[in-house]
Chains A and B, each alone.
Chain A
Amino acid sequence: MTTEYWRWKEYNWKDPDIDWKEARNITVGVDVGSVSSQAVVMTDGELFAYSNMRTGSDSPESAENALNWALEDTGLTLDDIHYAVGTGYGRINVPFADRAITEIACHGRGANYMYGPTVRTILDMGGQDCKVIQVDEKGKVQEFLMNDKCAAGTGRGMEVFADLLEIPIEEIGELSFQIEEEPEPVSSTCVIFAKTEATGLLRQGWPKNDVLAAYCSAMALRVVALIERVGVEEDFAITGGIAKNAGVVQRLTKQLGLVALEPKHDTQIAGALGGALFAQTLAVKEGRVSA
């Protein structure tokens, strides 16, 4: 079988120091995205467990798989959960959700928790879209812009590129700095034309790492244009899978002339985390748990 370089690792995590049996308010947020799905479990406002997996062809099944994996070995079952919020592209197809909330609002709230109340501008580089969100000190959205018409500058674009150059996706960022001189960005970030351009450059004798650098840089440039349409107010933070790619992040922040906040948790869970936080409030508001 040929190696699939784009296949990022799926995983789950739980906080061993939290005993959920003592918690009064247990909620879950499930973010069914176009490429990946996450489930986050919160107990009394604390992050307790999460999972991150690839989305399958069936949205309800992806939501259930993500939840089951987050609950694995915790002793918790769906019956113990007071409130569930679905978010992301597949949010209306989450069978166990009590409410669906857009990923824009969830990302705002999730980033506020992950990065603290000083975060004002969030760039979410998702699997098949790119969002710029401005929030207030409570994580409430003040302005947003989403681009999901074009795959350039998205996680899926990077996955395709990983396969093209036969480099594991997690290594792209680091390798893109192992170069003698920063190359010009590639002219097209189009996922379809990436192959033509990348193979063209390799044929001209470019080292692979230089091609990676040129692509990371082009992706950063493209996203900068979107961010500038909304404007950047600091503090600035990046969520989503591409936030883990230093090759894009460092070039992006350099072009913007600012630094991005260091994430306290996995950047891919921001949406689901926001969903679980909304669920914490809604569980009290709707009388599922006492205030």
Chain B
Amino acid sequence: MKANYGYHDGSGDFFITIDSNLCTGCVECISACPADVLEMITDDYDDVVAAVKEEHRKKIKYSCAECKPVDEQPPLPCVSACEPGAIIHSW
């Protein structure tokens, strides 16, 4: 299952997609995130997978800001840490 966490508003689309078919539950992304945005959950189909914490879902643009300086586009820690490539940012 691909879960899109985030929102769409007047300033654009801000979604983090986590593919539970690829996520192995290794928790590497969780320790890699400096803003403590991610957590492990047991989803509705009893898979233990990474997810964006509820309190960050409506402000994800700001929560992720420190990893996204405007003048350069360094690799994102969560995306780099994820070996199977289960995490995608839309912006």
Is chain B a partner of chain A in the same complex? yes
Which A positions have Cβ atoms within 8 angstroms of B? 101-102, 104-105, 140-150, 190, 225-226, 229-230
Q: Is B58 an interface residue (CB 8 A)?
A: yes
Whether A148 touches B58, Cβ cut-off 8 Å, given contacts A140-B45, A226-B8, is: yes
Number of A-B contacts (CB under 8 A): 44
- In angstroms, Cα B8 to Cα A105, docked, is 21
Q: Is the CB–CB distance between B13 and A229 below 8 Å?
A: yes
- In angstroms, Cα B90 to Cα A230, docked, is 12
Q: Is B2 an interface residue (CB 8 A)?
A: yes
**Contacting residues, chain B, for A101 (C-beta < 8 A):** 44
Q: Is the CB–CB distance between B2 and A147 below 8 Å?
A: no
Count chain B residues whose beta carbon lies closer than 8 angstroms to a beta carbon of A: 14
- In angstroms, Cα B4 to Cα A101, docked, is 18
* B22 smallest CB distance to A (angstroms): 13
Q: Is B35 an interface residue (CB 8 A)?
A: no
Q: Is the CB–CB distance between A230 and B4 below 8 Å?
A: yes
Q: Is the CB–CB distance between B9 and A149 below 8 Å?
A: yes
- Apart from the given pairs A104-B44, A230-B4, 20 other A-B contacts in the complex at a CB distance below 8 Å: A101-B44, A102-B44, A140-B1, A141-B1, A143-B1, A143-B3, A143-B4, A144-B1, A144-B3, A144-B4, A147-B7, A147-B8, A149-B7, A149-B8, A150-B7, A150-B9, A226-B8, A229-B4, A229-B15, A229-B90
**Contacting residues, chain A, for B58 (C-beta < 8 A):** 148-149
Whether A105 touches B45, Cβ cut-off 8 Å, given contacts A226-B8, A229-B15, is: yes
Q: Is the CB–CB distance between A150 and B44 below 8 Å?
A: no
- In angstroms, Cα B8 to Cα A56, docked, is 28
**Contacting residues, chain B, for A105 (C-beta < 8 A):** 44-45
* A277 smallest CB distance to B (angstroms): 13
- In angstroms, Cα B58 to Cα A22, docked, is 47
21 contacts between A and B (CB under 8 A): A101-B44, A105-B44, A105-B45, A140-B1, A140-B45, A141-B1, A143-B1, A143-B3, A143-B4, A144-B2, A144-B3, A145-B4, A147-B7, A147-B8, A148-B58, A149-B7, A150-B7, A190-B10, A226-B8, A229-B4, A230-B4
Instruction: Give B8's nearest chain A residue, CB to CB.
Output: A147
- In angstroms, Cα B44 to Cα A143, docked, is 13
Max chain B C-beta neighbours (<10 A), residue from A101, A143, A149, A229: A149
Q: Is the CB–CB distance between B2 and A143 below 8 Å?
A: yes
Q: Which of B1, B7, B15 is the one whose CB lies under 8 Å from A148?
A: B7
**Contacting residues, chain A, for B8 (C-beta < 8 A):** 147, 149-150, 225-226, 229
- In angstroms, Cα B14 to Cα A79, docked, is 46
- In angstroms, Cα B8 to Cα A104, docked, is 18
- In angstroms, Cα B2 to Cα A230, docked, is 10
Question: 3 closest A-B pairs (Cβ-Cβ)?
Answer: A105-B44, A149-B7, A145-B4
**Contacting residues, chain A, for B9 (C-beta < 8 A):** 149-150
Max chain A C-beta neighbours (<10 A), residue from B2, B13, B44, B45: B44
**Contacting residues, chain B, for A225 (C-beta < 8 A):** 8
- In angstroms, Cα B9 to Cα A225, docked, is 11
**Contacting residues, chain B, for A226 (C-beta < 8 A):** 8
- In angstroms, Cα B62 to Cα A5, docked, is 38
**Contacting residues, chain B, for A230 (C-beta < 8 A):** 4
**Contacting residues, chain A, for B7 (C-beta < 8 A):** 147-150
Enumerate B1-60 residues with CB–CB distance to A below 8 Å: 1-4, 7-10, 13, 15, 44-45, 58
Instruction: Give B3's nearest chain A residue, CB to CB.
Output: A144
- In angstroms, Cα B15 to Cα A147, docked, is 10
**Contacting residues, chain B, for A140 (C-beta < 8 A):** 1, 45
